[in-house]
Structure formats: C-alpha cells, structure tokens
Amino acid sequence: MSTITLLWTVWAFLFLSTTALMVYRGLLTRGEEDQIFLDENILGEEKRRQDDIQRRIQFLKPFVAFAGGTTIALSAALLGIYVVNAIQVLRG
C-alpha cells in the first residue's frame, strides 16, 4: 500500500469518527431543555437528566476536539502534498 493511500485511509477513518461523534453530540443536546420549571416534583428528575446530558457532552468534548483537529491537520497535509506535486509537474 502506498503512503498516499494510507493517508487517505486514515483521513477517511478520522473524518467518519468526527462525523459520528458530532452526530451523537447533536442527538444528546436535542434532549436538552432550554428552560426548567421550578416544580418540586419535576425538578429533581429533570435536573438529573440535564446533568446526565451535560456529563456526557463534557466526556465527548476532548474526543471531538482531537478527531476534528487531526482531520483538519491531515486534510491540510494531503492538500499540501497535492499542491507540491502539481508545482513540480508544472515546472517540468
């Protein structure tokens, strides 16, 4: 397997991982409430659910940052490889 094929394979894995993490995070935040009513019977359960959502989002945050940053860096590297190759071909 050539180096460029390996880079594209790693990039695809990172891109799909980033996308899956962002979709999961979006599904979690969809259940988050904008307002909480101050009824004693509802507040305890609702607060527990909101705290659970926040805990999951905070857990995902470093993974999303790492996967997204690595995907962007690898995208820039792949683009740089193709630009350098194009310049070399054009110079002849």
Q: Which residues contact 84 (CB under 8 A, 6 or more apart)?
A: none
Query: Tokens 């995070």 map to which residue?
Result: 25
Looking at residue 44, the DSSP 8-state letter turns out to be: H
The residue among 10, 68, 55, 3 whose CA lies nearest residue 47 is: 55
- For 31-58, write each residue's pLDDT tens digit: 666 665 566 666 677 778 888 888 999 9
Q: Where do the domains of the chain lie?
A: 3-91
Q: Which residues contact 47 (CB under 8 A, 6 or more apart)?
A: 36
- For 9-33, write each residue's pLDDT tens digit: 999 999 999 999 999 999 988 866 6
pTM for the structure as a whole: 0.77
